[in-house]
Amino acid sequence: MLEASSDLPDDVAALQAMIALQNEKLSIFEAEIKERDYRIEKLEHQLAGMRRHLFGTRSEALDQLELTLEEEEITRAVETPVGEDASDTSSDTPKGKPKCKPLPDHLPRNDETLSPGNECSACGGSLKTLGEDVTEELEYIPGRFVVNRIIRPRMACSCCEAICQSPLPSRPIEKGRPGPGLLAHVLVNKYSDHLPLYRQSQIFKREGVDLD
């Protein structure tokens, strides 16, 4: 800013130089203000986009396509002794973890057995069956629902007592129960036929399948 009038020089050239310097400083200050305003506007636009992403219509979110069918895989190869009833382990379920309803009994079951073989990969001894893990996957075939049961026997070597089991095949949703046909059916109904998820849930319920 300009000094007090008593401190101003009497020379006209010096006054002009001082005014030119102040004008230059003022131009720089105005440019900084414009740049700041531009950055504020840009940040406000980004913030509005983030708010729409976080608090927008949840019905369009992809996570609803999981149909709340996610559950912990029934893998009790080591934790559950052979012959122990599944209801005895219900107390070990972590608090707050959702419990999925069992798939309806009236749906047809297609069993697929994945066996590790008859010989131990470690020593070549013969394997004996200790038990099996069954993973149920709800699948949709045009016009009807079916349940694919993936059976994986747990085998123990009679020589070295090693335990082996076939791994689960690749699935659309890890630790989830909807099959690829069901997911494709829901996606086509929602995005091609514009059928909301709650209406699809009502249609499925008429067929005895409760999908929230």
Q: What are the tens digits of pLDDT across the range 141-161?
A: 878 888 989 899 988 888 887
13 — pLDDT class (breaks 50, 70, 90): confident
Task: Report pLDDT for 56.
Answer: 60
pLDDT at 162: 85
CB atoms within 10 A of CB 79: 9
In whole angstroms, what is the distance from residue 15 CA to residue 10 CA? 8
Using an 8 Å Cβ cutoff, are 172 and 186 in contact? no
Q: What is the mean pLDDT of residues 113-140?
A: 83
Is the overall model pTM greater than 0.75, yes or no?
A: no
What pLDDT does 177 receive?
Answer: 85
Section 107-130 average pLDDT: 82
Higher pLDDT, 202 or 126: 202
The DSSP annotation for 29-57 comes to: HHHHHHHHHHHHHHHHHHHHHHHHHHHS-
- pLDDT tens by residue, 16-73: 788 888 888 888 888 888 888 888 888 888 888 787 777 665 544 445 444 444 444 4
